[in-house]
Structures are given as structure tokens and as C-alpha cells.
A and B are shown apart, each in its own frame.
Chain A
Amino acid sequence: MSRVLVGVKRVIDYAVKIRVKPDKSGVVTDGVKHSMNPFDEIAVEEAVRMKEKKLAKEVIAVSCGPAQAQETLRTALAMGADRAIHVEVAGAEYETLQPIHVAKILAKISQDEKADLVIVGKQAIDDDSNQTAQMTAALLDWPQGTFASKVEKSDAGLTVTREIDGGLEVIKTKVPAVLSADLRLNEPRYATLPNIMKAKKKPMKKVSAKDLGVDLAPRIKVISVEDPPVRQAGSVVPDVDTLVAKLKEGGHV
């Protein structure tokens, strides 16, 4: 294995309170702090560890998005990626960018760069689609190891432990392959100062979807974005009997 490609998405930081736009067309992103999708951080970390273990020679980070996506790529470079590819998608096109587009972009770059492994986060914490890894694998016709919580080198390729409902599943796969990172795969490092400085000098290439021959026409239309229902206020009951009565009333016991 020589080259690992990781997809990194710029999303609203998870410590920030999300606000729905008054016209319900989406959420407010202007002036809101963004950072790398936490699952993508895990993907980068895994790729960098593979490089440190000499299982990989080069790690390439790819991000599709507006100019600020370069900040996210710099973070990936500071964590240890070797170079970055910024696929510029801005304005209205970015607002309707969907997993199918990103998967096509990642598939095309994987072929162009002769990647042996693609790692992405299992999902992005903004749109929660959980589709990019699967679609990328399908487009490339490569095997996939999704929801990975452990990745080890084995003779023929990789042994991947997957988080599935009710337990773990261990699979073996050949490379090239596509993996998606689950929460327990690793604990991503903080970018250290010397590496943040070095990252500023690492190469970053900018391309457009058109250069890659990917059509960004939306396949899905967002009709409305709504706030989750507000949790109802609790009430204090005077004693256990009332509590039990209430629970029975609500059909909870």
C-alpha cells in the first residue's frame, strides 16, 4: 500500500449551537465557527498512523467546498497529511452538494492519484447522510469496510473490525478498498505547533469539479429544515406514590 486518500469536510463545530434560518431553507452558517467533521479527524488520524507505521507512504487530504475548506485541509496537513487537494465548490452549488457528488469526486481523484485506500468519516455531523464511503466504493468497484473501529494489516490486505448493531464484525478485505471511520477507531491527535508551522508549507492543489468531469446538478431537493421539537419542561412530584401513578398514567410502567 503506498497512498491513502482521506476525505475531510468542513462542518459547524459541534460545540456551537445550531440555528435554523427563519425561512427554513437550512441552518445559519455565516459568522459561525466551523471545524473538521469529527469523524473525518478520526479518518485522518488513522491514515497518519498508517504512515507512521510505514504501512503507507503518502497521505492525501481532499476537501470539497468553498475557499474556507482550505483551513480544514491545513488542519489535516498539520495532523500529518502530506499534501492536500481542494476541490472548489462554492455558492449555490455548494449548498446543494450531496454525497453522490463527493463520492464521484473522491473516486475520480483516487484513480488519478492511484490511491490504494480511501478513508472517510462514517458520516458528517451536519447532514448525517452516511453515504459517501459506500457510494465511493460502488463507483470504484472496490470492497468497503464501513464503521471501522479497528484496522490492521493482514497478508492479503486489511482486517477491519466493524461496529454493527449489537456487536462487532471482523472482515478481511483486499486493497484497494474504501473505509469509513467510526468513533472508537482512534483518538485523533491535536495538531502541534511545529506541525502547524510545517503545514503552512505543504502543497495544496486547487481543482474544480469540472476539471474532474463531475456534474454537480443536485439530485435531491431540500424542502424544509426544522428545529427538533422542544423538550417539555419537567415537573417536580411531591412523593414516590405520585411518581409511580404518573408513570402508570403515561404507560411507562
Chain B
Amino acid sequence: MIRQFSQILLISLEKHIFINNLKYSTSALPRFSSEKYSIKRKNFGSLHDADLNYFRSLLSADRVITEESDVLPFNIDWIKNCRGQSKVVLKPKTTEEVSQILSYCNSKKLAVCPQGGNTGLVGGSVPVFDEIILHLGLMNKIISLDEISGALVCEAGCILENLDNHVREHNLIMPLDLGAKGSCHIGGNISTNAGGLRLLRYGNLHGSVLGIEAVKADGTIIDCLRTLKKDNTGYHLKHLFIGSEGTLGVVTKVAVHCPALPKAVTLGFFGVNCFENVLELYKSAKSSLGEILSAFEMADNGAISSTVENLKLSNPLGDFPFYVLIESSGSDEGHDNEKLNRFLTKEMETGHIIDGTVTSEPAKMRNIWNIRESIAGAGLVDGYVFKYDVSIPLQNYYDIVLLLRKRLGNKATRVYGYGHVGDGNIHINVTTPEYTKEVYEMLEPYIFEEVAKVRGSISAEHGVGFRKPQFIHYSKDETALHLMHGLKHFMDPNGILNPYKVLPD
């Protein structure tokens, strides 16, 4: 009966995932990326039967996927925007296999697209033309966990949520958490330098990743897989693979530092009247909660309405212009509650908080987090979502949503903003019944120009991928781009790793 009860709740929790799984049957396939964005194929080799035979001899036949319908899901990205035309998916199980595959592809100039959980939001994880898809899902072994230092060593294809569940058994947690945790791989997280919900507390992956093993385009295995917090011997090579989105090498193993599992966690969800008050609340939370503040997220009315209307999740509060989610994590419930109570009493009095709910019960906290995490998927139900992920100085943080609403008028179903206020990162979603060039052209490059005006970043955490190389100059100047090109050429002279991605031509 316990099971029956939680199952019913789980069904509602997992609706959004379910919707995602249905995407191929309920809607038309996206157009080929190469046609949609008028891309020209670069001069790579093409796949022949002899190549497939080589791969079959290297891997077992069931790890060389060629059946068109089986390859299809690997060709389409999570938001159904990009679609490649690959004919084959390879599923290596070991670093040596990855090395042999790349060495072969490099010698034949066959292009390769590394793919993790395929939850990336900028089209980096799917091919553009016929690149070979190198799927890391079978490299999913946990190698070791040092309970004293917190160093976890595992293969790149481990799913983030599985890792989190594993380390929790040892009173540790993963330093990152995001809505895609049930599908994304740690290797994908590292390759995109994913931020997510715990960044405010534990910093980004450049700090948490202790070591990396990666394979270069020519098949050379680079072993930087140390579990040390401190290692100042020469260049910090592991950072080359953090956030380079599969263009400099394929990450095969990782060592991550896991912080201690907090003993006391409390989550609050609040209704706020205006964006100025969201900022006031943030300032106050930082000074009143100090070291126990572990998340500060905001969502506007449109973002929460989309989960309520599209996913039938229930909103614990009434209707408010803005919602704020504040999490505290500490080691002593009594101490934390005292701080929280003082903070909340004060903020109710100042009126920064109009209404809210606070809970330490795991099931309720999970339901509230689920509302926040489901926003990313809720817009898909409207038809199509244009997604932007930008960093903006806090004083300008929300302006862009208002500008876009005015600019798009009734051409959009919804325009809403939500995100990691604590990190200066806002996600802007524009939903429409279907993709149209008209809306696309009203959005881009307009949105990037606006971000550049305030010296923001046109991609805060999702990366550049396939969708943004032509806009990268809004955030990186020419000399920086020149250095990036030089590095790429040095690491991958034939350019076989994830072509058409990250670097502008």
C-alpha cells in the first residue's frame, strides 16, 4: 500500500519525463539541422561497409547500431530542434575501445559526435550530417569512492542520479544537481561544464572535478585521472575537457569531489510581488542564512503556470508575479531552523515575502523541487520552445523577459523567465505552437545583442554547441577566439571531433 501511494505520486512526478518519451510518436520529426540552418558538409570521409566491419570486429555486433529506426533517437536532440543524419551509433565499453575507434576515424577522416545522455540544450550532442555517434552509455561503472576525501572515480557514462544515489549511501552527495539528472551522464556534465541547482553552494565543475581521463582525436589516452585536491604540477590539463563540449577530446573517466551529505535540509517556496523584491530577498538570504544557504532560484508567474497548465502539477501557493525557492543545508537542524525562522519572520514583515510554505519533509521537498525542475520540460507541451540561457548582471536580470514579451506580442504562446538568480543566470523560454522562422528571426540575434550590451554571457551553462557558434563573438573577443582555434587545431588537426560545434568558421 505504501507502494501504491507513492506510485500514484510518482506518476504525477514523472509525467514530464513521460511526455518527453512520447515525443517521437506524437509530433512530426524535426527538419534536418543542415537544411534548417543551411550548413555545408565539410570535407570528411564517408562511412563504408568496410568501416562498419571494422567497428563490428572491434566491438561486438550489438554495440554497432545501424538500423535506421534504432539510430533515430540518437540523431534528435532533447528539445526536438536539431536532427542529424548519422547512419551508425557505436557503444564502446572501455577507454581502449574509444581510443581504437578514434584512432581509426582519425586515419580515415571520419567525423565523430560524442554523445552522453543527449539532454544537452544547444544541439551539441547530435550530429549535423553523417558524423559517427559515439555513445558513452555503456561506460557506466563506478570505480571507487573514498569516503574520507569524498573522491568518486567512475566512467564517463554514469548517469548523474545513479551516482548521487550511490554516494548518498556513504553520506556524500554529488556537487551538482539538475533537472536532467535521470538521463544526463557525468561525462556530459563535465563536457558542458553543467551548472545546475547546487552551484551556488558547491561552485562549478572546474572546482569539483579532481581528475579526468580523456581520449584525443588521434586515439591518444590522456591520463589526468588523479583524486587529489591539490596538484600544481604543470599545466592544468583537465580544465581543457571541462566545458569543451566534445571538441577537444572524449572524456572516458572522471574523478569528482563529493561534499558531505547535509544532515538538515529545509526548503521554502515563496510568493513575491516584484522582481526588486526577489533581489532584496536574495541579499537578505545571503547575509541572514550565510553558510547554510544552498539554493536560491526564481521563477516568474509564466514559468510556474506552464508547469501547472501543461504538466498538471499543483502549485502550493496562490498566484504571484514571482516565486522564489530557497534551500538551506546544514549539519544541525536546531541551529538552521533558528536562523531560518528569524529570516522568514523578518521578510514577512518587510513584505519581501507575501506568502510561502516551508518544509523539511523529504516527500514535500521533492514535490516542490519537482515544480522547479519541470519548468525546463513544461514548455514543450505548447509545441515548440526557443530556449535561452544567459548570464546577466543582477540589476538587469529580468529586463530581457519584459523586452521580449513586448517585442513578440501575440506571436508567442508564452514568454517566461526562471533560473539560478544566485548565480546571475536566467533561462528564458519562448513557446510557440511550432517552430517558425519569423519568431526565430525576431529572437536572434536580438537577444544576444541585448545581453552583450550589459556585458553578459550568451550562454551561461548550456554551452555553445551547434546552435551558438555564430553568436559566440558577443561574449568572446577576437584574440580569445583565435586562441581557441589554435588549441582546437593542436588537439584535433583533422577536426573530426564534433565538427560544426562551438567554434565559428
Contact = CB atoms under 8 A, between A and B. Distances in A.
A14 interface: yes
Interface in B287-322: 314, 316-317
A197 interface: yes
Contact of B362 (A33, A38, A191): A33
Interface stretch (B134-142, B210-218, B353-361, B444-452): B353-361
A35 B5 contact: no
Given A123-B1, A125-B2, A183-B8, A193 B344 contact: yes
Given A190-B316, A192-B317, A193-B355, A125 B5 contact: yes
Contact of B361 (A33, A128, A189, A238): A33
A70 to B, nearest CB: 15
Interface string B448-490: 0000000000000000000000000000000000000000000
A190 B364 contact: yes
Given A123-B1, A125-B1, A190-B359, A35 B314 contact: no
Contacts of B62: 238
Contacts of A39: 5
B345 interface: yes
A15 interface: yes
B366 interface: yes
Contacts of B366: 15
Interface string B325-366: 000000000000000000011001000010111111111111
B2 A15 contact: no
A187 B315 CA distance: 11
B94 interface: no
B363 A128 contact: no
Given A187-B314, A192-B355, A194-B348, A14 B5 contact: yes
A33 B262 CA distance: 13
A192 B356 CA distance: 5
B363 A13 contact: yes
A33 B356 contact: no
Nearest to B168: A17
B363 A193 contact: no
Interface string A225-253: 00000000000001000000000000000
Nearest to A31: B263
Contact of A196 (B5, B316, B358): B358
Contacts of B355: 192-194
B21 interface: no
A13 B5 contact: no
Contact of B348 (A187, A190, A193): A193
B6 interface: yes
Nearest to A36: B361
Interface string A168-212: 000000000000000100010111111011000000000000000
A59 B334 CA distance: 29
B452 to A, nearest CB: 40
Contacts of B6: 14-15
Interface in B256-275: 268-270
A16 interface: yes
Contacts of B269: 190
A238 B317 CA distance: 50
Contacts of B268: 193
A168 B105 CA distance: 64
A69 B6 CA distance: 22
A56 B6 CA distance: 31
Q: How large is the interface on A (under 10, 10 to 19, 20 to 34, 35 or more residues)?
A: 20 to 34
A193 B314 contact: no
Nearest to A126: B2
A183 B365 CA distance: 20
Contacts of B356: 192-193
A14 B363 contact: yes
Contacts of A14: 2, 5-6, 9, 363
Nearest to B318: A192
A196 B348 CA distance: 12
Contact of B5 (A38, A190, A192, A194): A38
Contacts of A193: 268, 270, 344, 348, 353, 355-358
B288 to A, nearest CB: 15
A233 B55 CA distance: 29
Contacts of B344: 193
Contacts of A38: 5, 363
A123 B316 CA distance: 25
Nearest to A196: B358
A35 B8 contact: no
A35 B361 contact: yes
Interface string A4-45: 000000000111100000000000000001010011000000
A33 B363 CA distance: 10
A190 B357 contact: yes
B355 to A, nearest CB: 6
Nearest to B263: A31
Interface in B349-385: 353, 355-366
B1 A128 contact: yes
B357 A192 contact: yes
Contacts of A33: 360-362
Which of A15, A38, A190 is most buried by chain B, counting CB atoms within 10 A of its CB? A190
Interface in A120-151: 123, 125-126, 128
Contacts of A123: 1
Nearest to A37: B5
B5 A183 contact: yes
Nearest to A200: B341
14 contacts: A13-B363, A14-B9, A16-B362, A35-B363, A39-B5, A126-B2, A128-B2, A187-B314, A191-B357, A192-B356, A193-B357, A194-B355, A196-B357, A197-B348
Given A14-B6, A38-B5, A125-B2, 4 more contacts: A15-B363, A128-B2, A192-B356, A197-B345
Interface of A: 13-16, 33, 35, 38-39, 123, 125-126, 128, 183, 187, 189-194, 196-197, 238
Closest 7 CB pairs of A and B: A190-B316, A15-B362, A35-B361, A190-B357, A15-B363, A193-B356, A125-B2
